[in-house]
């Protein structure tokens, strides 16, 4: 069921698209991290803050799902900034920020419906990803990556579980959350393989394109969280 105000969200996302274009046009080298490169990388996420804030403080105060997604975007920006200096020892800091992001997103997506089948599929995929990465991990990363995979897998499960295509109960916002979660997992898996296993061709372009798309879709999923929360109260 597509809300009549879907088209009205497009203009509010124009700054995000412009900021994303700026990032890809400038394509600042990662070999020389700076506060300017951190700003350019975080700018699209800042625009998603503005996108949610544009719906009004009353909306955010009334609906916890939107607040949690906004908080997740704030921690995401911090994670992006830390990862600018990952070669200087801040990779774990970025990992922690995104771990908190996934916890917040999971909470925003909620625990209903459970959808055991989706949970089992995500568990199997997460396990296979860890098996792939495990031989290349050492020290603290052996368990840090395991915990992170569990968190992003849980987030993905909760987003996918909400998309009930078979029962014709889906909405465009649930579809947006589902696609966003899947793209986020693709982005982070590419980061992990590129960092720990072997160089992935065009890795940076793949990582950032899927990441920005994921964040935009997850932010969009918050727009009609009012309807979702009303539905939860009725069940």
Provide DSSP, 52-96: HHTT-HHHHHH-HHHHHHHHHHHHHHHHHHHHHTGGGTTHHHHHH
* C-alpha–C-alpha distance, residues 13 and 97, integer Å: 24
Q: Vertex 73, ends 55 and 211: CA angle to 5°?
A: 115
Task: Say what the pLDDT of residue 230 is.
Answer: 43
| pLDDT tens, position by position, 129-157 | 999 999 999 999 999 999 999 999 999 99
Is the predicted pLDDT of residue 235 greater than 60, yes or no?
Answer: no
Task: Say what the pLDDT of residue 169 is.
Answer: 63
Who has greater pLDDT, 99 or 9? Answer: 99
Q: Taking residues 75-90, what's their average pLDDT?
A: 97
167 — pLDDT class (breaks 50, 70, 90): low
* C-alpha–C-alpha distance, residues 104 and 101, integer Å: 5
Q: What is the mean pLDDT of the chain?
A: 91
User: And the tokens for 202?
Assistant: 């065009």
* C-alpha–C-alpha distance, residues 95 and 144, integer Å: 9
Q: How many Cβ atoms are within 10 Å of 2's Cβ, its own excluded?
A: 10
Q: Would you give the end-to-end CA distance of the chain in angstroms?
A: 19
Is the predicted pLDDT of residue 41 greater than 90, yes or no?
Answer: yes
H helices then E strands: how many in the chain?
11, 0
* pLDDT above 90 as % of the chain: 80
Q: Taking residues 164-173, what's their average pLDDT?
A: 72
Q: How many Cβ atoms are within 10 Å of 176's Cβ, its own excluded?
A: 22
Task: Say what the pLDDT of residue 78 is.
Answer: 98
Task: Say what the pLDDT of residue 168 is.
Answer: 60
Task: Say what the pLDDT of residue 35 is.
Answer: 96
User: And the tokens for 39?
Assistant: 């700003």
Is the predicted pLDDT of residue 5 greater than 70, yes or no?
Answer: no
Q: Taking the CA atoms of the chain, what radius of gyration do you get in angstroms?
A: 18
Choose the weakest-confidence range: 146-155, 172-181, 182-191, 226-235. Answer: 226-235
Which of 44, 102, 38 minimizes the C-alpha distance to 75?
102
Task: Say what the pLDDT of residue 10 is.
Answer: 84
Q: Taking residues 30-52, what's their average pLDDT?
A: 96
Task: Say what the pLDDT of residue 144 is.
Answer: 98
* C-alpha–C-alpha distance, residues 44 and 21, integer Å: 9
* C-alpha–C-alpha distance, residues 69 and 73, integer Å: 6
200 — pLDDT class (breaks 50, 70, 90): very high
223 — pLDDT class (breaks 50, 70, 90): confident
Helix, strand and coil in the chain, % to nearest 5: 75, 0, 25
Task: Say what the pLDDT of residue 166 is.
Answer: 63
Q: How many Cβ atoms are within 10 Å of 109's Cβ, its own excluded?
A: 28
Choose the weakest-confidence range: 131-140, 190-199, 218-227. Answer: 218-227
């Amino acid at each position: 069921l597509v809300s009549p105000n879907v088209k009205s969200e497009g203009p509010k996302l124009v700054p995000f698209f412009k900021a994303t274009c700026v990032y890809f046009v400038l394509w600042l080298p990662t070999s020389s991290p700076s506060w300017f490169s951190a700003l350019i990388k975080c700018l699209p996420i800042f625009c998603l803050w503005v996108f949610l804030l544009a719906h009004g403080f009353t909306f955010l105060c009334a609906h916890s799902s939107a607040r949690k997604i906004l908080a997740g975007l704030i921690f995401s920006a911090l994670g992006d900034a830390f990862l600018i200096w990952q070669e200087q020892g801040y990779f774990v800091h970025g990992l922690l920020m995104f771990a908190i992001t996934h916890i917040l997103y999971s909470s925003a997506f909620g625990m209903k419906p459970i959808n055991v089948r989706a949970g089992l599929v995500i568990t199997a995929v997460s396990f296979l990803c860890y098996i792939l990465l495990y031989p290349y991990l050492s020290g603290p990363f052996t368990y840090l990556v395991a915990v992170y995979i569990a968190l992003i897998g849980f987030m993905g499960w909760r987003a996918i579980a909400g998309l009930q295509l078979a029962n014709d109960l889906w909405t465009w916002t649930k579809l947006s959350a589902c696609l966003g979660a899947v793209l986020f997992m693709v982005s982070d898996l590419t980061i992990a393989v590129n960092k720990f296993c072997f160089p992935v061709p065009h890795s940076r372009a793949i990582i950032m394109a899927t990441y920005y798309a994921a964040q935009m879709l997850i932010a969009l999923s918050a727009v009609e969280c009012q309807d979702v929360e009303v539905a939860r109260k009725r069940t």
